[in-house]
């Protein structure tokens, strides 16, 4: 389309279109969430990639880091200090926990919007952050400014936000189906055991013996048992929505697949006759949502149906134990659980349609 406009001499329209294009930088572009932002931004009509950074891959071509991007004409990777930040409209920070806060503190005065995909600005209490992540939070004043970007529950607060803290993948997959039920006071907060399964990309791209093929294939295992870092994040948002403190029990499991996440939570009903209201609560909450589907009764959510998309599928099931129900949700951990939600949040911060650039169907098969 752009080439046709140039060739027909429609310069006014061409200039108007280009003046509305915002420039994006991707920090940590050599990781999985970084390349996922790259993939998704190819579909975005109002964002172009102007800078890519990578600490250990600076100076390399993007196509050499990820061969699937070789034809896109992307800028080479560089150190983040080399970027001309006043020229950038939005920075997507796909950096490791700990490293993100330092870099963001440096660039935040120069960039209109920063979307952080790490955990560094999710927890509002710096002491809790230090306890959970084993390092101090050095910028509590900036922490106060961050908007927690669980998109469907933060639309108003995201408008014109300067620093957006994207939720973790487990909190996203867990909170989206639970928050309506908690808000409508249909389930108890005192007992929320969450069992979760995730693909290997959730661990990042770093080299590790435990993530090699022979260590992962033909098996599955739990990890972070009783102490996973995302549990306090889930607690924080439930307390914010309900006003009640809780301590969820989150048990994640790693399985040999690249993408995908499923969470299963057994919930206690406040009243035995409220089971039918659970599905109605979900349907009413998300009836106008562009990315959330409450499946027909009896349909079980499957990760293969959301793979590569920004969608979340969910459903509620009767349990054989009286007074309880089973809530299941699935997302792609790299998309709705990270990079896709980051772009959705930026869309909302600009007052754009939140599905801009994200109306892509999942991979199948």
**Alpha-helix runs per DSSP H in the chain:** 2-7, 11-19, 32-41, 62-65, 99-107, 126-133, 140-145, 155-158, 169-183, 213-216, 230-242, 275-285, 340-349
CA neighbours within 13 Å on the CB side: how many for 222? 11
Distance CA 17, CA 45 (A): 9
CA 24 to chain centre: 18
Report residue 333: phi and psi, to 5°: -65, -25
173 belongs to the catalytic site? no
Distance CA 256, CA 160 (A): 40
Per the structure block, which two tokens stand in for 5? 């406009």
Per the structure block, which two tokens stand in for 241? 């929505």
Catalytic residue among 94, 166, 169, 312: 169
Is the distance from CB of 112 to CB of 89 less than 8 angstroms? yes
| DSSP letter (8 states) at residue 179 | H
- Closest listed residue to residue 166, CA positions, set 356, 323, 349: 349
Per the structure block, which two tokens stand in for 127? 């002491």
- In Å, what is the CA distance from 286 to each residue of 153, 158, 241, 250, 283? 10, 18, 16, 24, 5
SS3 for 79? Answer: coil
Q: Residue 20 burial by CB count (10 A; 0-12/13-18/19+): exposed, middle or buried? A: exposed
Report residue 142: phi and psi, to 5°: -70, -35
Active site residues: 169
């Amino acid at each position: 389309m752009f080439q046709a406009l140039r060739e027909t001499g429609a310069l006014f329209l061409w200039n108007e279109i280009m003046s509305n294009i915002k420039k994006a930088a991707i920090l940590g572009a050599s990781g999985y969430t970084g390349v996922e932002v790259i993939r998704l931004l190819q579909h975005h009509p109002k964002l172009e990639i102007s800078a890519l950074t990578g600490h250990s891959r600076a100076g390399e071509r993007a196509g050499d880091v990820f061969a699937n991007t070789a034809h896109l004409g992307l800028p080479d990777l560089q150190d983040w200090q080399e970027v001309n930040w006043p020229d950038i409209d939005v920075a997507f920070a796909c950096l490791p926990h700990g490293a993100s806060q330092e870099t963001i503190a440096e660039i935040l005065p120069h960039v209109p919007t920063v979307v952080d995909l790490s955990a560094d600005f999710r927890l509002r209490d710096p002491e809790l952050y230090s306890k959970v992540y084993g390092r101090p939070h050095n910028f509590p004043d900036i922490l106060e400014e961050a908007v927690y970007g669980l998109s469907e529950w933060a639309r108003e607060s995201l408008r014109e936000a300067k620093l957006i803290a994207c939720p973790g993948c487990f909190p996203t997959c867990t909170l989206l189906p639970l928050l309506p039920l908690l808000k409508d006071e249909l389930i108890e907060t005192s007992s929320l055991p969450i069992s979760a399964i995730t693909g290997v990309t959730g661990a990042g791209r770093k080299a590790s013996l435990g993530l090699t093929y022979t260590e992962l294939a033909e098996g599955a295992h739990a990890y972070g048992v009783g102490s996973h870092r995302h549990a306090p994040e889930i607690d924080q948002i439930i307390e914010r929505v309900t006003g009640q403190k809780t301590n969820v029990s989150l048990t994640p499991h790693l399985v040999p697949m690249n993408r995908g996440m499923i969470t299963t939570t057994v919930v206690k009903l406040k009243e035995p006759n409220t089971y039918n209201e659970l599905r109605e609560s979900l349907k009413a909450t998300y009836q106008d949502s562009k990315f959330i589907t409450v499946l027909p009764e009896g349909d079980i959510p499957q990760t293969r149906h959301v793979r590569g998309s920004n969608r979340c599928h969910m459903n509620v099931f009767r349990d054989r134990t009286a007074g309880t129900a089973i809530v299941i949700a699935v997302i792609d951990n790299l998309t709705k659980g990270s990079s896709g939600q980051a772009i959705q949040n930026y869309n909302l911060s600009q007052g754009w349609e939140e599905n801009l650039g994200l109306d892509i169907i999942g991979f199948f098969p």
